[in-house]
Amino acid sequence: MAMTERYSGILVHPTSFPSPYGIGDFGQGAYDFIDFLKKSGQKLWQILPLGPTGFGDSPYQAFSAFAGQPLLISPDRLAQMGLLLPEDLQNLPVFNRDLVDYGYIIPYKTMLLKKACERFAAQNDPVLTEEYESFCEKNASWLDDYALFMAGKDFHDGRSWLEWEDDLRDPDEAIKAKWRRKLASSIVYYKFIQFIFFRQWEDVRAYAAEAGIRIIGDIPIFVSLDSADVWNDRKLFQLDSKGYPTVVAGVPPDSFSATGQLWGNPLYDWDYHKSTGYEWWIKRIEHQLTQVDFIRIDHFRGFEAYFAIPADSKTAISGTWRKGPDADLFRAIEQKLGDNLPIWAEDLGIITDEVEALRDGFDLPGMKVLQFAFTDPLDNDLLPHHFSTSNCICYTGTHDNETTLGWYFNAEPELQDRVRRFMNTDGRSIHWDFIRTAMASIAKYCIFPIQDVFGFGNDCRMNTPSVAAGNWAFRYRPEYLTDGLAAHLKSLTELYGRGVFVEKEKETLEDPKKH
């Protein structure tokens, strides 16, 4: 009998990898992690958005929906290319091995990247120069304006484009040409680091593919107001004549917040997007799929209906729901990219029948988070025995949650007791009980944050929503990826028929002699 394909994997952002340079990158730590995934029988690696972050360091507030995060570039790989010298990497500052101190590492890594760019220009290596020029030509549709935008930010001391006091704030093509001449050296730098970012990431992704690992990327549904996307193409958004949003994104009041959440992102002008055949969104999805195998879209419900808050509001109370593009957008994407879209829907929170119809109409897997499954004292449709379809992703928790250990020890005694009885455990290794429960579910995909694999508490969580400081900083040490840990994880993976076991079963079916 044919078996349903079932896979499991780990959620960890590259910034969390071990690295001598204060932040995880695409160096040895990335390759060691992929080796661990392979050794432990995992088939999936989920990451957060890879864009260049600004104030607050959130990967969900990037300067571009298309560009890559320069901080993820590996200095060691630059040295292997001859773009950094051994002396450039001597006398390293003392970095925290467990946390990313962005204020400390950004100036240091920027200094290294500028040295590499200068050496690239000085060497004039014909092969590398041809690769660089080819990259720039291939990505010109977003790269040219992104590089000018970032050079413009530097020229204006990092201020938002809305605060620029010259003609670069609202340029036509002639003005852009003038500023490109004026900021030429800075523009070369920003193009160069994008070239290096994508070159290094392509190597990491190829290594993962060779190991049989598929990567799940992440797209925030909204973009940052201070981004090249909004600055360059304001028609895409609901803005006034000066470029300021008329309405902004957020969510309404609920049991977690009496005033709702005011995110502040500009909202799309969906009528304009429709008039272009959703060209910008299709390009965004296409671009992401050159980097990853699946895309998780954050705040998926915003496609069916989005919450619009007047831009001058102090809270989300005055917001209203407005109709989104709904199935029309996804039909346009399918026409361009084909059926069976490799998209995962982040469908957490209060989800309406209309949102479920949109998700299921395009056969997109939704998310089932076990930490949310035990909150109802009677029953909950997020409990695995209530899963109505295998086309879903079962998570122990996400990057926004407490770690499983932290969640359990912060839970009320009655809730702890319910969890123990449900999982038939004494609770002494509750993180493994959650992983086991997720793996045993009918969900086709099963994901657990690396903090849950390690059994870490809340001091190691990745993000605490609505808390401004101290997020996105978690790092782990290389010695945590032990052979014993890999063996234990692999044993569970095989026990519940995820990835490794399925392949063995297929071999048996194909050749009975191997049995």
Cite the active site residues: 298, 346, 400
C-alpha triplet 407, 411, 417: angle, nearest 5°: 115
Are β-strands 320-323 and 305-310 bridged in parallel, bridged antiparallel, or unpaired?
antiparallel
168, 179 Cβ separation under 8 angstroms? yes
Residues 26-43 as b/e (b if ≥16 CB within 10 A, e otherwise) read bbbbbbebbebbbbbbbb
179, 187 Cβ separation under 8 angstroms? no
**Alpha-carbon span 308 to 131, nearest angstrom:** 44
Q: How far is CA 391 from CA 284, 356, 364, 419, 498, in A?
A: 24, 13, 8, 25, 14
Provide the 10 A C-beta neighbour count for residue 53: 22
C-alpha triplet 267, 273, 277: angle, nearest 5°: 155
Position of tokens 């006398």?
91
- The DSSP string of 311-368 is TT-SSSTT-EEEE--THHHHHHHHHHH-SS--EEE---SS--HHHHHHHHHTT--EEE
Alpha carbon distance, N-terminus to C-terminus of the chain: 15
Taking Cα atoms as reference points, which of 15, 57, 103 lies closest to residue 471? Answer: 57
**Alpha-carbon span 129 to 72, nearest angstrom:** 22
Q: Which amino acid is at 405?
A: L
